[in-house]
Structure 1
Amino acid sequence: MKTVIFDMDGTLFQTGTILEPSLEEAFAVLRERGEWQGTAPIEAYRKIMGVPLPAVWEALLPDKPEETKREMDAYFLERLIANISEGKGELYPNAREVFAELAAEGYRIFIASNGLVRYLAAIVEHYGLDEWVTETFSIEQTVTLDKGELVHMIKEKYGVTEGAVVGDRLSDIRAAKANGLFAVGCRFDFAQEQELKEADAVIDGLPELKALLEQVPAKG
C-alpha cells in the first residue's frame, strides 16, 4: 500500500492565518512587563517557520533568560490552540478534497510535523482530518528533534516501503530522501526556492499532488 506523509505548517495548514495574532498576543505580555518594545517580530519568525517551538524562542529572544523563553513558549502554544479552536485559521485550498481522493485510491495518509502534539491535535480535530489520517506524528516523539527520525518512526511502525513525503521546507525534503521516499516540495507561503531545488518534484497547489503521485514509478 502506498503512503503519503504530509508536513503540517505551510503544507496543509496556512499557519500565517493565526501566526501574527498569536505571536502578537505573546509579545504583548512582554511589552506589559517592560521587556519588549514595538510590534512582535513577525518577519523574523517567518524566516524560521517550521522549526520546533523551543528553537523559535532561541532565535526571537536570544538575550532573554531561559525561564522567559519557556514562559513565552507555553503561552504562545496556548494562543495558537485557542485561535485554531475559534476557527481563525485555514487549511490550504482543497486539502480535505485531496485527502479524500488519496484515501479513495488506497493511499495511507500520515502527518509528520515539527509542531507539538497538542497543536497538531487541535488542527486535526477542528478540521476533521482524522477521517483520512491514519496517525499524526509530532517532533515531540523524537529524541533528536529531526524530521528524518520522525518519518523513520512511521516507516517502522507501519511497514512503509514506498511513498512520498510532502512538505514546504528542506527538513521535509531531506527526511524523505533519508528514508528512501519520494520528496515532493510545496511552493507555498514559507517555501524557499533554494530548498525546493532538492525535491524530486515541486507542486504549486495540493490538487496537483494526486496526478504527480500516479507518475512516480513503484519500487521494483
Structure 2
Amino acid sequence: MNDFPFQIVGFDLDGTLLDTSGDLTDAVNHALASVRRPTLTVEQVKPMIGGGARHMLAQGMAATGGCSEEELAVLHRRLLDYYEAHLTVHTQPYPHAIDALDALAARGVRLAVVTNKLEHLARQVLGQLDLTARFVTIIGGDTMGPGNGKPSRQPIDAMVERCGGGRAAFVGDSIYDIQAAHAAGLPAVACRFGFLMQPVEELGAEAIIDGFDDLLPTLERL
C-alpha cells in the first residue's frame, strides 16, 4: 500500500481533529463572568476559534462591549489558567477521526498536528486523550516564535521538515489553515463540520470533507 499519494498528512486541532468547543466556551465564559459580562453560547464562540486563545477572547469581549489591551491581557491569563485546568471535560475526537488516523498510519503516512493553540496546551489535550504517540510532531501557535502561527507558512514548512520530507497535505477548518497550507505550497482539505467563520466553500481548499470517513478517498483523488 505504498501507492498512497501523500507521505505526510498534517491536521489542525480545534474544529478539525477535536471538538474542543465546549471546553473553549467554558474558558471564555469564565473570563467574561469574572468581569460581569454576559456569557456566550457554544454556537457563538465556535466562529471565534482558530486564531489562538487571545484572538478568541478579544472577539468574545468585543461581542459583549469591548475592552482595553490591558484588560485583555489580564483576562487572557485568566482564560488560559481556567482552560488548562479543564482541558478535556467535553473535548473529544470527531466521529471516525481515529479510524482515519489508523488507516493513514497503516499506509505508512507520517502524521502531524499544526495548531494555533499554545504548544504545551495542545500536547496536554492530546496526552489526556491518549493521542500524542500518533504524531511525528506537534506544532503550536507559539512553537515558531511570536507572530509565526498560521496563516504563516513557517509551521507548515517545519511540519514537513520534522516529518522527514515528502509530498504533504493539510487538513483544517479555518481560513488560517488553508492560507498556511497554500503559502507552503501544499494542497488543503477543509472540514465542513469545523468551527467555520465563513461558508466552507469560500475557504479556497482543494477539497471539502463532510466527515472523516471521506478523508482517505478525498486524499487519493487530490
Q: Same fold by TM (over 0.5)? A: yes
Question: Which one of the candidate residues 59, 77, 82 is aligned to 1:74?
Answer: 77
Alignment correspondent of 1:150: 155
Contact conserved, 2:160 with 2:168, CA < 8 A, in 1? no
Alignment correspondent of 1:114: 116
Measured in 2, the distance between the counterparts of 1:112 and 1:179 equals 13
Q: Which amino acid in the other structure matches residue 20 of structure 2?
A: T
Contact conserved, 2:7 with 2:108, CA < 8 A, in 1? yes
Alignment correspondent of 1:27: 32
Aligned-pair CA distance for 1:41: 7.2
Alignment correspondent of 1:200: 206
Measured in 2, the distance between the counterparts of 1:99 and 1:196 equals 26
Alignment correspondent of 2:215: 209
RMSD: 2.2
Superposed, 1:1-220 pairs within 5 Å as 2-31=7-36, 36=37, 38-40=38-40, 45-61=45-61, 63-85=66-88, 87-143=89-145, 144-147=147-150, 148-191=153-196, 192-193=198-199, 196-216=202-222
Bigger proportion of residues as helix: 1
Please identify runs of 4+ aligned residues in structure 1 that moved more than 6 A.
none
Aligned-pair CA distance for 1:97: 1.8
Contact conserved, 1:185 with 1:196, CA < 8 A, in 2? no
1:183-208 Cα distance to aligned partner (Å, 9 max, x none)? 10110142232554510011000121
Measured in 1, the distance between the counterparts of 2:108 and 2:20 equals 28
Q: How many positions carry a matched residue from both structures?
A: 210
Percent identity of equivalent pairs? 29
Measured in 2, the distance between the counterparts of 1:39 and 1:120 equals 25
Contact conserved, 1:114 with 1:139, CA < 8 A, in 2? yes
SS at match of 2:86: helix
Aligned-pair CA distance for 1:43: 5.6
- Cα separation, partners in 2 of 1:10 and 1:194, compared to 1, 3 Å: closer
1:5-60 Cα distance to aligned partner (Å, 9 max, x none)? 100011011122213222222222112xxxx3x32476654333201222234333
